[in-house]
Amino acid sequence: MTEQEQGKHVMWDEAGLQVLQCLPVAVVVCDGDGNILLANELAQSFIGNSLRKLQGKNFRDYFAPTSEIDRIFQHAISAMTVVSDSICSRQGHVPFSLHGQTQDNGWVLVLIPEAKRAEVEQQARRQELAEAVARIALERAHEVKNPLASLRGAAQLLVEKSSGELKEIATHVMREVDRIRVRIDTFLQVAPRANIQMLEVNIHHLIERVCVPPKHIQLHRAYDPGLPMLWLHESRFEQAIENLWVNAIEAGSSTIEWQTRAAPLVKLPDHHGMVVELKITSNGKPIPENLQHHVFEPYITAKARGSGLGLSIVQQVVQEHGGRVQLESSFGRTSFIIHIPLYLKAPEFGRRAA
């Protein structure tokens, strides 16, 4: 290796790896012969080896078919970027799509497992739908709330100045107006919050305050005591926790478990630091398989009586905090997993519309 090549390798080791670790995708850096120079943590986990063991080994040793990889390397010489959906790992034969680009007489390769790609696309579709519903919610709800306020004022005046049957009718009108306003306020909760104020919150204290189990439910806790305070909009995040808790109870669960931990291998878009995982698992009635991909969409519910907004609100709150929420359901256990960024100071997006 020439002195110039050694200098490039050192540059990648010291600065490049720090950049790669912040990316939410698996990235491998190879020299011109396909020998691995660097791999971030996601790539190491997909390949099943540490960076120390990977360095110097050839990319072809871990992915197949060799002919397709050779084709990618050959085309990358004359093109800025190449893409292939025909790659699989030699261990486990997991299918990947591969994106390659030339870099300093070598290659930067991005690996996206097929399952992960589908998940990313689904998250994007869910967010687009949530934003569309939020815009409709804001427009329609504000159109209705103003005349409702006038109607309630007129009804209240009648209550104060009338008696007998007319007073009873006016009182009934006031109650119905108030009921409609509650419905509208619930509807508005799927809309993005503007100027949300972030505070440092002990997530374990928040869970304990919200989740008081009835006598027939066993609550298990698997908290990471080393987690620092989190920057959260406390009342909004409390609402998300409560919605997940109520959802588990209404599913007929007898056992519910909360888990918290640091998730160093999880990467979130636009966040370059540590991520915290919150997980609630229950053994209640499972979510029907045909609804599992739609549970975070507004008005989707398997309950006989339910608005279908509870989990949609959870998703909106988590997105306001720069995180994501996922569902896992198998073997009679249902888990909702929240990943949120761990900030060292109040995040900037907490001061503007999410």
Give the integer Cα–Cα distance in Å for 102 and 100: 7
- Whether 34 shows a pLDDT value over 80: the answer reads yes
Over residues 78-132, the pLDDT tens digits come to: 555 677 777 888 887 788 888 887 776 778 888 887 665 555 566 666 666 666 6
**Least confidently predicted of 190-199, 238-247, 260-269:** 190-199
CA torsion sign for 210, 212, 214, 220 is positive
**Least confidently predicted of 26-35, 149-158, 176-185, 246-255:** 176-185
* pTM for the whole structure: 0.54
In which region does residue 123 sit, left (phi positive, over 0), alpha (psi from -120 to 50) or beta (all else)? alpha
Query: 199-351 — its CATH code?
Result: 3.30.565.10
Q: Which helix (H) or strand (E) is 208 found in, with range?
A: helix 203-210
- Whether 286 shows a pLDDT value over 70: the answer reads yes
Please, are residues 295 and 309 in contact by the beta-carbon 8 Å criterion? Answer: no
Task: Give CB contacts under 8 A, 24+ apart, made by 127-134.
Answer: 127/319, 129/297, 129/298, 130/190, 130/296, 130/297, 130/298, 130/312, 130/315, 130/316, 130/319, 131/192, 133/190, 133/298, 133/312, 134/190, 134/191, 134/192, 134/316
CATH 3.20.20.140 at 3-114, yes or no? no
321 three-class SS:
coil
Over residues 291-331, the pLDDT tens digits come to: 877 788 766 555 545 455 778 888 888 988 889 999 988 77
- Whether 5 shows a pLDDT value over 60: the answer reads no
∠109-115-119 over CA atoms, to 5°? 100
